[in-house]
């Protein structure tokens, strides 16, 4: 793997590893790109199949759910089906190993994700979800939690009858929706507080696999920078994030195992 990387990129990984071993408080923000190598398409990838004519902004909003609840529910049923059999990739595993390693070191590592999949947890990480959880449901009006979806019922080979799946709340009879933060909605207060505290107090902020386009999550790197943190970005593609100190322009599944191997060896 090492041989496939350019000497310049390897030098940047070494620089990042040195920085990370000499700092105590680390905050990591992950986005859809970290799950891409597990086979879950990112939001900036073109949608495929049934959904190719829809932009994510046309489906992941409260207005879209009010207008056409079956359409939005169906999209999430499809996403659940897509994610059901996916497993963590080497980037998730390396992060979990690093988090485990920090338990017996002087470092504190806070992992925040915009992802609604549970691949960080499956890999063994403790993670704060900013945008909710794909497997949970709640009432669209009274917000009462409704029974979780079971991953086992969504095996990707099954066919879901999209039109018959709407459920209603036993308390107020409104439609049940996925417990996900949609565009225009507030982030969960406790999760956002955890993220803001970790970003404001970290010495290094690592942004992994996010386009840095969707706020408020995209503002966490700026908050960290304003408070003196160095910023590392891991993304094979450029982003609008102009405050980055070290750019590791490769897939997370390639960079993270190498980076963590170097950190834990130093």
**Which residue lies nearest ligand OAD, judged by its C-beta?**
33
Minimum Å gap between C-beta 166 and ligand OAD is 20
Catalytic residue list contains 120? no
Binding span for ligand OAD by CB under 6 A among 75-83, 171-179, 220-228, 251-259: 251-259
Interface characters, 137-176, with ligand OAD (x: CB under 6 A): ----------------------------------------
Nearest to 43 by CA among 58, 35, 32: 32
For ligand OAD, which is the closer residue by CB, 44 or 171?
A: 44
For tokens 């986005």, name the residue. Answer: 31
Q: Which residue has the tokens 């590592």?
A: 109
44 near ligand OAD, judged by CB under 6 A: yes
Judged by CB under 6 A, which of 27, 31, 133, 244 binds ligand OAD? 31
| Range 210-229, binding ligand OAD (CB under 6 A) | 210-211, 213-214
Number of residues that bind ligand OAD (CB under 6 A): 28
Neighbours of 210 (CB within 10 A): 27
Among the listed residues 106, 131, 171, 190, the single catalytic one is 131
- Looking at 10-18, 143-151, 163-171, 245-253, which segment touches ligand OAD (CB under 6 A)? 245-253
Q: Cβ distance 89 to 140 under 8 Å?
A: no
Q: Where do the DSSP E strands lie in the chain?
A: 25-30, 108-113, 128-129, 132-139, 145-146, 176-180, 204-208, 230-234, 246-248
Q: What share of the chain is helix, strand, coil (3-state, %, to 5)?
A: 40, 15, 40
If binding is defined by CB under 6 A, does position 207 make contact with ligand OAD? no
Which of 45-59 are b and which e, b meaning 16 or more Cβ less than 10 Å from the residue's Cβ?
Answer: eebeeebeeeebebb
d(CA 204, CA 191): 20
Which residues are the active-site residues? 131
Which residues contribute to the site for ligand OAD (CB under 6 A)?
31-33, 36-37, 42-44, 56, 60, 114, 131, 181-183, 209-211, 213-214, 234-237, 239, 251-253
């Amino acid at each position: 793997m090492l041989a496939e990387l350019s000497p310049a990129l390897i030098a940047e990984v070494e620089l990042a590893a040195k920085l990370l071993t000499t700092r105590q408080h680390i905050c990591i923000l992950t986005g859809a790109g970290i799950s891409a190598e597990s086979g879950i398409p990112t939001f900036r990838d073109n949608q495929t199949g049934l959904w190719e004519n829809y932009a994510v902004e046309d489906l992941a909003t409260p207005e879209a759910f009010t207008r056409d609840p079956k359409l939005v529910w169906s999209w999430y049923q499809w996403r659940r089906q897509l994610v059901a059999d996916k497993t963590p990739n080497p980037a998730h595993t390396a992060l979990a190993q690093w988090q485990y390693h920090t338990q017996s070191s002087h470092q504190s590592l806070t992992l925040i994700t915009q992802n609604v999949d549970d691949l960080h947890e499956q890999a063994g990480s403790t993670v704060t979800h900013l945008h909710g959880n794909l497997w949970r449901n709640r009432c669209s009006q009274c917000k009462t939690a409704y029974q979780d979806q079971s991953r086992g019922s969504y095996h990707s080979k099954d066919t879901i009858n999209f039109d018959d799946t709407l459920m209603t709340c036993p308390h107020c009879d409104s439609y049940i929706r996925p417990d996900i933060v949609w565009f225009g909605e507030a982030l969960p207060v406790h999760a956002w507080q955890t993220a803001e505290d970790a970003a404001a107090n970290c010495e290094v902020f690592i942004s992994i696999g996010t386009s840095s386009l969707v706020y408020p999550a995209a503002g966490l790197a700026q908050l960290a920078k304003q408070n003196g943190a160095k910023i590392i970005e891991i993304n094979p593609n450029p982003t609008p994030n102009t405050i980055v100190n070290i750019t590791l322009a490769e897939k997370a599944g390639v960079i993270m195992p190498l980076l963590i191997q170097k950190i834990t060896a130093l």
